[in-house]
Every structure is written in C-alpha cells, then in structure tokens.
Amino acid sequence: MHSELLQHRVKTSLITLNEKTGERNTSFNETQKVYEHRWLPFLQAAGMLIFISPPFQHVLALTPRSVLAEHFLIVGEQSLAVNHILYCLFYVLALTSELPLLLKGIKTIGASMDTMCCRL
C-alpha cells in the first residue's frame, strides 16, 4: 500500500533533429518511479511505542471502536485487492467462457493451475 502511494509518473521528451529536412521529431516517454523513504516506518514504530506506554494508553482508549473497526476494514480491503494468491484462486475458479482461448488439446483447469503455480 505504501509503495502505491509513493508512485509517480515521470514524463520525458526526446527531441531529435533531422539534418536533411531540418524537421524536429519529438517523442514522449512515460515511466513510473517510486520515491522510497525511511521516515514512515520509523514514525509508525514510534507511534506504536508511544501509545502502548502507560500514560498514553488512556488516550488510545478514548478512540471509538467504530473508528478503529473502519480503519481495519479499509486496510483489509486494500490488502485483498492486491493479494496475488486470491487473484490466482479467482482465475482457477473462473468460468471457461471468461478465460482466454487456449490451444486445442489443453485442458482449462490444467492450464489454470499451471499459470497459478508459475506466477507464485
């Protein structure tokens, strides 16, 4: 989840000049990069350490349970959306009509299981 939040796209342009005709050709390239930083894990660990200490446990107890439940539901849903094993399970259980066409003589469930095992 943190890597997805830190992604950004970098657009670069390359301008070439044709010497014979004098025309400029411009081509655009777009790449994705991730800015990694080490502050977020440190701040999370420091926050957990602070809130498990006895003076601040009272402050944590003031947080409504519905807020905490909503937080854990959102985090759980986001982790399921990018879970590779769950994606492979859905691929194996998919209907034959929804799968891509295979060569003749290949069984669908065998190809699904082979694809799932190779991608793990």
State mean pLDDT over 39-49: 84
Residue-wise pLDDT tens digits, 55-95 = 888 887 888 889 889 988 988 888 887 887 887 787 777 77
* Residues constituting the chain: 120
Per 3-state DSSP, what percentage of the chain is helix, strand, and coil (rounded to 5)? 55, 20, 25
State residue 13 phi and psi, 5-degree precision: -125, 140
Nearest CA to 91 out of 109, 64, 106, 105 is that of 109
User: Are 35 and 8 in contact, with CB atoms under 8 Å apart?
Assistant: yes
User: Are 88 and 116 in contact, with CB atoms under 8 Å apart?
Assistant: yes
Q: Which residue did the predictor score with more confidence, 71 or 100?
A: 71
| CA angle (17 as vertex; 12, 22 as ends), nearest 5 | 145
Could you tell me the residue ranges of all domains in the chain?
1-63
Beta-carbon neighbour count of residue 96 at 10 Å? 9
Which pTM value belongs to this model?
A: 0.38
pLDDT of the residue at 10: 83
Question: Which residue(s) pair with 26 in the sheet?
Answer: 15
pLDDT band at 104 (very low <50, low <70, confident <90, very high): low
* Share above pLDDT 70 across residues of the chain, in percent, rounded to a whole number: 78
pLDDT of the residue at 112: 52
State mean pLDDT over 44-54: 86
